[in-house]
Amino acid sequence: NVALFIGHENKNEAGLDDDGVLMSAKENTIVMHDHILHNYSDKYNFDNVECMIHLIRRLKKMKNNTNHDWNDDLIELLSQTNNDRNKILKDENSLDNFDKEYLQNLDKKYDEIINKAQEQNKEPITKNYFKNEEARFIKDLIKYKRNYLLWAYNFSLPATNNNSERNIRPIKSKLKISGQFQNINYVKYYASIRSYIETCKKNNINIIEACVRLMNNNPYSLKEILNLDDDLNPIVTEKV
State whether the Cα torsion 67-71-75-77 is positive or negative: positive
Model pTM?
A: 0.84
DSSP-based three-state secondary structure for 31: strand
The predicted-structure confidence for 7-35, as pLDDT tens digits, reads as follows 888 878 888 888 888 999 999 999 999 99
Whole-angstrom distance, CA of residue 74 vs CA of residue 4: 33
The predicted-structure confidence for 29-52, as pLDDT tens digits, reads as follows 999 999 999 999 999 999 999 999
> pLDDT value at position 136?
96
Q: 116 with 73: CB under 8 angstroms?
A: yes
**Residue 29 backbone dihedrals phi, psi, to 5 degrees:** -85, 140
Pairing of strands 47-50, 30-33: parallel
> Quick check: 57 pLDDT over 50?
yes
30's CB contacts (< 8 A; 6+ apart) are 46, 47, 48, 49, 150, 154, 157
∠ CA(15), CA(17), CA(18), 5° rounding? 60
> Quick check: 72 pLDDT over 50?
yes
> pLDDT value at position 179?
65
Q: How confident is the model at residue 233 (pLDDT cuts 50, 70, 90)?
A: low
Residue 198 carries which side chain, given as an amino acid letter? E
The predicted-structure confidence for 176-201, as pLDDT tens digits, reads as follows 776 677 788 988 998 999 999 999 99
Q: 197 with 210: CB under 8 angstroms?
A: yes
> pLDDT value at position 166?
83
Question: CB atoms < 10 A from the CB of 134, how many?
Answer: 21
The predicted-structure confidence for 213-225, as pLDDT tens digits, reads as follows 999 999 999 999 9
Please, what is the average pLDDT of the chain?
89
